Amino acid sequence: MKKRAKQEICFAVCINNKRYEASLEVGKLYRVIPDKEAESHGYLRVVDESGDDYGYSADRFFPLEVPRPLERVLLRASS
């Protein structure tokens, strides 16, 4: 089995939606859009309930590494 290079975070679970109740749901899995600039400021860019991607404080999320087959299914489902 091939070992993957360090993977960018593709998904994260919301653990805090205070002040963003309409945009984020606690316990929900969100797709993360890679954004080095946002990350350098402590933010994650996620596709929220509006269907658009926005930057939120990274401490609102718990990042997840998912197996490649599951990642492909989730990415197709979120497109």
66 domain-assigned: yes
71 domain-assigned: yes
**Could you tell me the residue range of the domain that residue 56 belongs to?**
11-78
Identify whether the C-beta of residue 28 lies closer than 8 Å to the C-beta of residue 47: no
34 domain-assigned: yes
6 domain-assigned: no
* Predicted structure pTM score: 0.82
Per-residue model confidence (pLDDT) at position 74: 87
Averaged pLDDT of the chain: 89
| Structural domain count of the chain | 1
As a whole number of angstroms, the distance between CA 44 and CA 40 comes to 9
As a whole number of angstroms, the distance between CA 17 and CA 60 comes to 7
Per-residue model confidence (pLDDT) at position 34: 93
Residue ranges of the chain with pLDDT lower than 70?
Answer: 1-9, 79
